[in-house]
Amino acid sequence: MTQGLHESVRAGDLFDRALVLHREGQLAPALDAYRQVVALDHNNAEALHLLGFALFQSRQFDEAANAIRRALQFKPQDGEKPPLIVMIHGGPTSAAGAGFSPAKQFWTSRGFAVVDVNYRGSTGYGRKYREKLNGNWGIADVEDCVAAVEYLTKKGLADPERVAIRGGSAGGFTVLAALTTSDVFKAGASHYGVGDLMLLAGETHKFESRYLDRLLGPLPASEKMYRERSPVNNLDKMAAPAIFFQGLDDKVVPPSQAQTMVDAMRKAGLPVSHYEFADEAHGFRMAETKKRVLDLELGFYAKIFGFTAPGLSEEPAISGLDDGDSGQGKRRVNAPGPKP
């Protein structure tokens, strides 16, 4: 919410796309007509704008190979060409939804543009679209994320020098694959993501133990592909810093995934930040963890992109980038200096 309305309107019970507004003193006159319940969708764009929420546009765009890519774009209300966060859903065959998302509003309320990419393989566009990821995990998803960035930056809707990518679980794999195979991303955040596919095949839980057979191919026949697609084996192509968040009780993507990536990045002299959380598993549950992770991630982008993020409870430590850190052969980071 915008600061001016925050004192008079409080977000209450949240039911998917409906927000119940509670009166706390005098509501802004323009909001009075909305009474108690406001549906958070494009049909109430005026109410969303008054509340300071970012509006979204559904985008379809054609790029390389004439593939149709789909994404949801959320724009901050500032007029400045904003930094961009590319969000990657998990699954990897899940989907980004158009419903109200506090996570997206967190970033847009802090001046970021957000694009949530429904890359080839996402659910909701038919079986043929979903099956395009089979055998192409780490390729099709990355290509579509890159295409989304190129589309928005060419349109002047985002700053190409301040582009970050974030995702969790399978989305974390796409984050790391994007950072190690392209140069459009200047920073990345992996939330309990995958860095070593061979390690994952041997350690993940039984329920999804054969999922990789379709996404990549069965082992041992496809071992070469597993190793070639693993971000940990492609760090020579990486020039952007990354931050890792990992639950120590995670049985789906075990902590060894993040630790392996972090160790390899430190050895290569790449800027990296790493935070582990006891009593957290696959997907963070505790409110204090979620708040700390958001503060750390925002602080991470602030350091990389050169802006001040007020009100942080904690600033992240970035090995290989912070003053006084040798970084074990510190490599030049692909990130811009502060904005004037």
Give a yes or no: residue 334 inside a domain: no
Burial of 11 (0-12, 13-18, 19+ CB in 10 A): middle
Q: What is the CATH number of the domain that holds 94?
A: 3.40.50.1820
65 and 3 both lie in a single domain: no
* Domain identity same for 202 and 257: yes
Residue 332 domain flag: no
Q: Residue 7: what pLDDT?
A: 25
Q: Is residue 143 part of a domain?
A: yes
> How many C-beta atoms surround the C-beta of residue 261 within 10 A?
28
Domain limit, last residue, from 26, 53, 80: 53
276-297 per-position pLDDT tens digit:
999 999 999 999 999 999 999 9
Say yes or no: 79 and 4 in one domain: no
Residue 339 forms part of a structural domain: no
CA distance 282 to 289: 13
Query: Does 79 share its domain with 26?
Result: no
Question: Is 129 in contact with 221 (CB distance < 8 Å)?
Answer: no
Please tell me whether the peptide bond between 255 and the residue prior to it is cis, using omega within 30 degrees of 0.
no
Q: What is the pLDDT of residue 97?
A: 78
Q: What is the mean pLDDT of residues 176-197?
A: 96
Residues 90-149: pLDDT tens digits? 989 888 877 777 888 888 888 888 888 888 989 888 899 899 999 999 999 999 999 888
Q: How far apart are CA 234 and CA 225, in angstroms?
A: 13
The pLDDT tens digits for 2-31 are: 332 222 222 332 222 233 232 233 333 333
Contact between 213 and 221 under an 8 Å Cβ cutoff? The reply is no
Residue 310 lies in a domain: no
- Residue 44 belongs to what domain range? 1-53
- Asked whether residue 318 is assigned to any structural domain, the reply reads no
Residues 72 and 180 in one domain: yes
Condensed to tens digits (0 to 9), the pLDDT of residues 47-94 reads 444 444 444 455 555 544 444 455 454 455 455 788 999 999 998 988
Same domain for 95 and 21 = no
Burial of 112 (0-12, 13-18, 19+ CB in 10 A): buried
The domain total for the chain is 2
Residue 209: the pLDDT is 64
Domain contains 328: no
